[in-house]
Every structure is written in C-alpha cells, then in structure tokens.
Structure 1
C-alpha cells in the first residue's frame, strides 16, 4: 500500500480485546505484574491499558449487541486450548522470568532453551497465554 488514499488504516492503532472474569483481579495482574499503564477505566467492567506500545482493552463477558448480533464475549473456556497468545521478545529470558515470577506471574515451566531461543510461558488470571522469548541469533 504505497498510496495513502488506499490505506484504510492511516493513522490507526490496533487494540486487542481480552475478555476477563474479574476486572479488579486482571487490573492487578496487568498493572502490578506486567507493568501496563492504565489509560482509561469505564463502567466498572472495562479497562484500557497501554502495554509495550500496544493497546489492551479488558472487558467482562457479554452478549450480543445491535452491531454484533450473534457474538458473545466469553473468557477462554479451556486454558489448555489456545487460539490466541502473546509473545514478548525480551533481552534476557531468565532475568525477565525471575522478575515476573517475583511479581506473582505463575509460569508453566522455567525458561527452556530451544536452539537459539530461550522461552517460557505464563497465563493471566483467566488463562490467556503469554510467552517471553529471548533469541540469540
């Protein structure tokens, strides 16, 4: 897309919506453990966060609306079946692991070396999967 007139996303930003069961519990995790910044809170059931130059919108479960008539927002039904996850490229996986673990993140395993990559995974309170990954190229 070289011609800005043909770019439907000029001056836009991407926001990821995560459905969470408890806004306060998730707020504590994303702010206190991951270090996200609160941009806006509204309605007691929604929270906009800035995290690593990206936007996260945390919302509680909800049903259809007039603009998404057959769509339900639900928390992940099974934390072990993933259709969406986050990978955060870090400088030092072991150091990041220790810091996040000390802040309360619960990891699936300690960092594992896989070739030129060291990585490990953790979940938010509702089971959304996060990976921290160090690549040594």
Structure 2
C-alpha cells in the first residue's frame, strides 16, 4: 500500500465519503467491479479509491467515545434520503450501458434536465447514487428547479 493511494494528505484537506454497509465484501465488490474503484484496504475499514476520491466502508454500530450519541446503520427507507453520492462522468450513455451490464440497477435511464443528463442507481445497501454529465451547464443553462421548489 502506497501513501498516495490512501486518503492521507500531506497538506491541506481531502474529502472522503464514509458508508455504513451491511456486508463489506458485497459493497467492496460493487464499487470495485461495477464502478471500477481500486481497493486500497480490504477491511477494517474498507477503502476504495474511486476516480479522484475515496469511499470508506465499515459495518454499522453503536456509539463510540468520539461520537457518544450516534449509531451508524444502513438506510432503512429507500424512498427517503438526506444525502447521496454524486458521480460526474464524461459520457453518461456509455456509463449507463457499462454499469447496467455489470449489474447496476438504475431507477431510470439518463434524463435530459437541460443543464445535465442525469440518472440514479442504488448500491447494494440502498444508497442512492446520482450519475450526471454536464451538458447545458457548460453553456450557462441551468437545470429546471426542483419539484415543489417554486
């Protein structure tokens, strides 16, 4: 394992995303085999280098001394979320075809939202993942406002 493969900056900050997972091996396989991530550390915690970022995964659990009132768990309601991964790609149609062939389950095919083409999929624990390709945004065209955002 090389230092540059780890989310450990020598200066400044670096953003990673932690996922609470039910089955580390299953999630590791999804992010490696479907999305093309590089496994940096197998477990405890699992670390995956994905494009220019890292995912850190571990099973859920109860409070610890540094988070005394927090319990980690996987999503329990797939129709409600407060955050999601957002993956930006150069060719959304190619990603949609490739990742679908590898087992990714998308909610819809890519949809044109004026500023971008976008679709969503879920990982094995039900985490929502947005896949988007900037299109109109590159020419200053903004997306339609969110539903109910008036």
Q: CA deviation at 1:83?
A: 0.9
Question: What residue number does 1:127 align with?
Answer: 126
Judge conservation of contact 2:28–2:48 (CA < 8 Å) in 1: no
Higher strand share: 1
Question: What residue number does 2:29 align with?
Answer: 28
Question: What residue number does 2:19 align with?
Answer: 18
Judge conservation of contact 2:24–2:43 (CA < 8 Å) in 1: no
When normalised by structure 1's length, the TM-score is: 0.85
Where do residues 1-137 of structure 1 align in structure 2 (5 Å cutoff)? 10-43=11-44, 46-137=45-136
Structure 2, unaligned runs of 5 or more: 1-9, 137-150
Q: Equivalents in 1 of 2:30, 2:125: separation in Å?
A: 10
Q: CA RMSD in A?
A: 1.6
- 3-state DSSP class of the match of 1:122? strand
Regions of 4+ moved over 2 Å: 9-12
Structure 1, unaligned runs of 5 or more: 1-8
- 3-state DSSP class of the match of 1:80? coil
Q: Equivalents in 2 of 1:94, 1:116: separation in Å?
A: 16
Deviations 1:31-53 (A, max 9, x none): 0001111111234xx30111121
